[in-house]
Chains A and B, each alone.
Chain A
């Protein structure tokens, strides 16, 4: 009787000990091999093709690593409140990591902190945030890239002329950096005179409308510098309809497909290829490296390329017809 009890208790003790020993190992193994990791990408909007390119890049890297991929963006373009909600949903779902493109560099900070508290690593891509903990920030240097575009335009203007600036969404870090770059370059050329600097919210329809209105006041315009391609393409349509496109140079930023076509057709002078596929892809890779315990650089700089008529041939495959 006593003997049987002792044997039984010995078995129980052994099983418990074995379980205690194996549990952490098996959990770790499950995390490594059994359960697929899930990575989410959250961008600023669904409508701008630029975010579509980022999604493609992120999706590719996720697929290469055999990782589950979720893509989310506010249904109302550049809406902070909705982006915050999307982030909260992802925190609730306990995804393994989030690549985030903040709509607003300040406004997004609280929800990044909430993700930090929940132990979910966040990598920022394209647009930086002014607080919270991020694994890395993968982006072009917006300021430096716009300096290149603005210098190119100043060169085309030969340091002389009247220009209009179309600004992006107020408060976004990309807008702030690009606008600062344009203004810093133009300051060096006293012959260049800024007629007006107005926002068109990064949208094509707004770019069209604001340009139509400004074209009424200013009979002499030499160039229009825009902080993204969508506004630039709207401005191109407005100027074309007024038969003034031939005399006015338009610059964009992003190298969207139809902006590339506009550069090829001579309707736009220059745009900036900031390689969104690589920006998002690098952020996903950094996030995975971080989860696997590797060291990740705090800043990954994506090289930008000035796209003009001279090198547009490199982009032929992305231009239809």
Chain B
């Protein structure tokens, strides 16, 4: 039952390799649980020190703060699954927000929906450029997307300069601060994006091709998969998700500044890896990336609640990240031998 072709995926989106694995079942159930356990232990630790952590309002607060990071990280996850990397996500967040902010504040008479659409289109366009450079011109993904990082920054400065756009239409701001059924709108959007990603990766032909291209590009090509098409679509998705994350953050802050996206690049890369996504492709899951993101945001929230000084905050963040990946790697090795 656990054997099969390389493009078959298990429930959590992990591939089942060709060889028979007697302990495969243990591995596939234990690993996601171990990550959830790490998150649970962290939450327990903070709660003991400050019970305010467990207040429903704080838990909602954490989820809302994690929303942009989770959305970018999910875009990054799908890129990592193909064996690629997208270093332009932070700058794409900024660029898309600046484009939306420009149409929201500098062009009069335009509905906010059009401005938001322009922002998303800008993100998709950046992704398309990345995809074309990587799939067609065959540039290495780190270089192509690093180049786009600077192009996105340059365009953002050209469009906005150093004075932030601020004061947006209420219809737009609602998506940063509004509620629906007791939960903030950004959380609903994040959940919808996550559900869509799980569906895409687990139930569609495209999803199976993403894993196939990532686990063995040559085999995928031999079996007739047009890997260039898959790659282009993957980078467009990543650009689109970065744009969406940027717009949600912009709506929340009611302002765009040049620094809005850049701090998200490394967390967006670290979250999937902390959640068990392989940087060499073919292995990873949506749930893992969400837990990876939550680990970081929960830790920062906890340190604010405990009034820990900023110097120690960075140190703690580094240690927890390394511990999470170490736990993951050592459990994986134990399950495989």
Contact = CB atoms under 8 A, between A and B. Distances in A.
A233 B167 CA distance: 12
B310 A257 contact: no
A311 interface: no
Contacts of A198: 304, 307, 310
A263 B153 CA distance: 31
A261 interface: yes
Interface stretch (B50-58, B121-129, B209-217): B50-58
Contacts of B255: 204, 233, 237, 258
Contact of B257 (A204, A210, A261): A204
Given A47-B257, A205-B260, A241-B177, A216 B249 contact: no
Most buried by B among A45, A55, A205: A205
13 contacts: A46-B162, A47-B258, A52-B161, A75-B153, A170-B311, A199-B309, A201-B310, A205-B253, A205-B259, A208-B253, A216-B58, A217-B305, A237-B252
Interface string B104-148: 000000000000000000000000000000000000000000000
Interface in A175-217: 196-199, 201, 203-205, 208-210, 212-214, 216-217
B304 A258 contact: no
Nearest to B257: A47
Interface in B31-58: 50, 52-53, 55, 57-58
B263 interface: yes
A212 B304 CA distance: 10
Nearest to A202: B259
A197 B115 CA distance: 38
Given A170-B311, A208-B253, A217 B65 contact: no
B318 interface: no
Contact of B61 (A167, A170, A212): A212
A137 interface: no
B28 interface: no
Contacts of A241: 177, 252
B6 interface: no
Most buried by B among A47, A77, A320, A321: A47
Interface string B173-201: 00001000000000000000000000000
A234 B301 CA distance: 16
Most buried by B among A75, A209, A213, A241: A213
Interface string A275-300: 00000000000000000000000000
A178 to B, nearest CB: 16
Interface string A38-63: 00000001111101100100000000
Contact of B167 (A45, A213, A258): A258
A170 B310 contact: yes
A14 to B, nearest CB: 58
- Give the interface residue-count category, chain B: 35 or more
Nearest to B162: A52
Contact of A49 (B64, B163, B252, B310): B163
B310 A208 contact: no
Interface residues of A, number: 39
Given A47-B259, A210-B304, A216 B55 contact: yes
B166 interface: yes
Given A199-B310, A203-B257, A261-B166, 16 more contacts: A47-B257, A47-B259, A48-B162, A49-B162, A55-B162, A75-B153, A203-B259, A208-B253, A209-B65, A213-B301, A216-B58, A234-B253, A237-B254, A241-B252, A258-B167, A258-B255
Interface string B281-312: 00000000000000000001100110101110
Closest 9 CB pairs of A and B: A213-B304, A47-B258, A52-B162, A199-B310, A216-B58, A47-B259, A241-B177, A49-B163, A258-B166
Given A214-B304, A216-B52, A217-B52, A77 B253 contact: no
B228 interface: no
A199 B153 CA distance: 26
Contacts of A233: 255
A76 interface: yes
B268 to A, nearest CB: 15
Interface in A287-321: 320-321
Most buried by A among B162, B167, B253, B301: B162
Given A204-B253, A233-B255, A237-B252, A213 B310 contact: no
B254 A216 contact: no
A197 B263 CA distance: 22
Nearest to B160: A47
B11 interface: no
Contacts of A203: 257, 259
B89 to A, nearest CB: 16
A196 B257 contact: no
Most buried by A among B55, B65, B253: B253
A174 to B, nearest CB: 16
B12 interface: no
Contacts of A197: 307
B164 interface: yes
A197 B300 CA distance: 15
Contacts of B162: 46-49, 51-52, 55
Contacts of A216: 52-53, 55, 57-58, 61, 301, 305
B307 A49 contact: no
B294 to A, nearest CB: 15
B150 to A, nearest CB: 9
Contacts of A167: 310
Contact of A212 (B55, B65, B167, B262): B65
B186 to A, nearest CB: 11
Contacts of B300: 209, 213
Contacts of A77: 259
A208 B252 CA distance: 9
Interface in B230-276: 249, 252-255, 257-260, 262-263
Nearest to A234: B253
